[in-house]
A and B are shown apart, each in its own frame.
Chain A
Amino acid sequence: MKRLILVLVAAGLTGCLPVRRDTPLVGDLPGLTPAQARGQVVYMANCQQCHPGGSAGLGPALNDKPLPGFLIRFQVRHGLGAMPAFGPKDISEADLDALVEYVVRLQGVR
């Protein structure tokens, strides 16, 4: 039950609350792990166009919401609302692992 409440809160934070944008980035994120660096390349090819730098654009900001990794994974694979699904042909399982690590890393950027 606690898990479900967490899901509710996380999903609510992701979707329908007023959009909060963040200070735009200047320069690369420091100290990326190899997996995060790989995830960054995946992000640039698939996510950047709608969430530039992790901030709001066509879609909502990603870097100001405590979205857990499993929801990021779910949303990428299945798509939700206006966001399309990205199947294994678009993003392999290994690349998705790396992408999730990178997006979680973006959450700390303000």
Chain B
Amino acid sequence: MKRTHYLQPGRTFTQALLASVLLTGCFSLLPSNGGGQTRPPTVRTVRAADIAVPSGYRVEAVATGLDFPTAVAFDEGGRVYVLEAGYSYGEVFTVPRLLRLEQGGRRTEIARGQNPPWNGLDYANGTFYVAEGGEIGGGRIVKITLDGRVTPLVENLPSLGDHHTDRPVVGRDGYVYFGQGTATNSGVVGPDNAEYGWLKRFPQFHDIPCQDITLTGQNYRTANPLTPAADTVVTGAYQPFGTPSRPGQVVRGQLPCGGAVLRVPQQGGPLELVAWGFRNPFGLAFSPDGSLYVTENSYDVRGSRPVFGAGDPLWKVTPGTWYGWPDYHAGRPLSEADHFTAPGQPAPAQLLAQPPGTPPKPAALLGVHSSSNGLDFARNPAFGDVGEAFVAQFGDLAPVVGKVLGPVGYKVVRVNVTTGRVEDFAVNRGPQNGPASKIGGGGFERPVDARFNPAGDALYVVDFGVMTTTEDGQLPQRQTGVLWRITREGAR
């Protein structure tokens, strides 16, 4: 390739000018085409043959009709357990449940909760560990015995906002690690949080840092959805809605905090901070070499401080590290505004006077708005790709989180955590990407968890079910969840 051919000054300028004229502004002109932007189907079709997997692999539906399922786990005997959330964005409340799938299709309810969503599950030594999101009552990690007794391991986690208490995983060191999401999109409570439902319930709730931070004093004036009058309020970072911040203001760090990976001994004990500076660390998993990885749901283009172009990082977690929220994305400062400013939107101003550290680069960068969630690592050569991460992508919630030109996610991707290479592993067939309800067929709607069975020869994919989206928010459809299983032919 000889670059000098197309770097001749006069010609290059003309070409650049023409291209610029034609290309600039097209993003604004094109309509959003997110995967969820469709009419909900009256009945969900389930057809495994509509999911494409690499040659030699086979997909089957293990269970259908689940009510907002969010996680899967296995006991020592390989029996399969599914968690039903009891809640969905769009503000549909049901009953959180832990179910065991029996032979012949029967389901046994092991336990039920009262503080949804239940959105993360692990099992170790006769005990289930459940992340209780706590949309109303605050987050908890609860232990559940095989006979259904529920006891809290951690309570009063800051889960009343946008993001909840996320998936627990039991480490070889005897600790239960889990993610704790932030209250907001990017550090400032705004009218978008009223649309999500919680601001009117908890008007004093806001983000909590894990260590002391000093603010720049950046404030935002917005309409006030808490009053019928057409008044406005001014809100600062890490403050309740309607409370401004001031330059140099110190916000004290505390535990529990938001946007963090935390841990607690399996038998109970003091809560410990592992790492922080995540927006919503939803999926956690240990790689075969014992390293902890986490998927982060990154910024949306919404609220007082919208952030554009922020893919979902897959992080290798180094204890004691700050990962960048709310002023960095994937190691790049948001002050590089041209990377993070949506057309027609304000640039995200810096909130922290001094960053608490230097954020690292992620192991991989997944699609913007892909909602990359539950993950697991392959460890059995019979399945293949040992050491690679399999990540369930829930799919975009456009347009409320920001505009996309094509559906993002709705599949399971395979990630080489050494090179950052991302490939589709299981994805709906057809000329377009997207959920089955949009593109036709009976494949994936919204994969939310991916986990191997104890033998490592089968990958189970939890499909939350149909959730369509509109300008006004999400429209989840009950009892459309599916549990899929992917095996490699000849592996058993």
Chain B contacts of A27 at CB under 8 A?
54-55, 423-424
A73 contacts which chain B residues (CB < 8 A)?
A: 3, 6
Task: Give Cα A82–Cα B29 distance, bound, in whole angstroms.
Answer: 11
Indicate if the CB atoms of B54 and A60 lie closer than 8 Å: no
Inter-chain contacts of B368 with A (CB < 8 A) = 49-50, 57-58
Let me know if A44 and B433 touch, CB within 8 A. Answer: no
Q: Across the interface, do A16 and B19 meet the contact criterion of CB distance under 8 Å?
A: no
Q: How large is the interface on A (under 10, 10 to 19, 20 to 34, 35 or more residues)?
A: 35 or more
- Distance of A54 from chain B, by nearest CB (Å): 11
| Distance of B214 from chain A, by nearest CB (Å) | 28
Residues of B within 8 A of A101 (CB): 1
**Given A50-B309, A69-B1, A81-B25, A26 and B419 contact (CB-CB distance below 8 Å):** no
Would you give the shortest CB distance from A45 to chain B, in whole angstroms? 6
Question: Does the CB pair B365–A49 fall under 8 Å?
Answer: yes
**One of B16, B312, B420 near A74 (C-beta < 8 A):** B16
A80:B370 contact, CB within 8 angstroms: no
Q: How many pairs, one residue from A and one from B, have CB atoms within 8 Å of each other in the complex?
A: 173
Q: A84–B339 contact, CB under 8 A?
A: yes
What residues of A have a CB within 8 angstroms of the CB of B309 in the complex?
A: 49-50, 58, 82, 84
**Could you tell me the distance in whole angstroms from the C-beta of A26 to the nearest C-beta in chain B?**
5
Whether a CB of chain A sits under 8 angstroms from the CB of B223 is no
Stretch at the interface among B129-137, B156-164, B249-257, B403-411: B403-411
Closest Cβ of chain A to B371, distance in Å, is 12
Q: From B12, B52, B406, B430, name the one whose CB has the most chain A CB atoms within 10 angstroms.
A: B406
Q: Is the CB of B405 within 8 A of A41?
A: no
The answer to whether A48 and B367 touch (CB under 8 A), given A23-B430, A61-B406, is yes
A3 at the interface (CB under 8 A from B): yes
**A26 and B16 contact, Cβ closer than 8 Å, known pairs A19-B405, A49-B365, A58-B404:** no
B residues less than 8 Å from A48 (CB atoms) = 311, 365-367, 422
- Shortest Cβ distance from B421 into chain A, in angstroms? 5
Q: Are B343 and A24 in contact (CB under 8 A)?
A: no
Whether the pair A4, B14 counts as a contact (CB closer than 8 A) is: yes
Q: Chain B nearest CB: distance from A30 CB in Å?
A: 12
Please give, as numbers and ranges, the residues of chain A lying within 8 Å of B343 by CB-CB distance.
81-82
For window 404-446 of B, CB contacts with A under 8 Å fall at: 404-408, 411, 419-433
**Across the interface, do B26 and A81 meet the contact criterion of CB distance under 8 Å?**
yes
Chain B positions 81-131 with a Cβ under 8 Å from a chain A Cβ: none
B338 near A79 with CB under 8 A, answer yes
Whether A8 contacts B1 by the Cβ 8 Å rule is no
Q: Can you list the 10 inter-chain pairs with the closest CB atoms, starting with the nearest?
A: A56-B406, A49-B311, A70-B6, A82-B27, A15-B26, A11-B22, A58-B368, A80-B23, A15-B23, A84-B339
Separation in Å of the A96 CB from the closest CB of chain B? Answer: 9
C-beta contact mask, A91-110 vs B, less than 8 Å → 1, else 0? 00000010011000000000
Q: Mark B45-74, 1 if CB is under 8 A from A, else 0.
A: 000000011110000000000000000000
For A75, the chain B residues whose CB sits under 8 A away are 19, 23
* B367 and A24 contacting across the interface, CB-CB below 8 Å: no
**Given the complex, which residues of B lie within 8 Å of A23, measured CB to CB?**
429-431
Q: A-facing mask of B135-174, CB < 8 A → 1, else 0?
A: 0000000000000000000000000000000000000000
Cβ-based interface call for B461 (8 A): no
Q: Which of A38-56 contact B (CB under 8 A)?
A: 40-41, 44-45, 48-50, 52-53, 55-56
- Taking the nearest CB of chain B, how far is it from the CB of A50, in angstroms? 6
Cβ–Cβ contact A100 & B1, under 8 A? yes
Contacts A21-B432, A28-B423, A57-B406; A52 near B370 (Cβ below 8 A): yes
- A21-B406, A44-B365, A82-B27 known; A26+B18 contact, CB < 8 A: no
Contact mask for chain B residues 1-13; partner A; CB cutoff 8 A; 1 contact, 0 none: 1010110000110
Asked if A55 and B420 sit within 8 Å, CB to CB, the answer is: no
Q: Which residues of A contact B423 (CB under 8 A)?
A: 25-28, 53
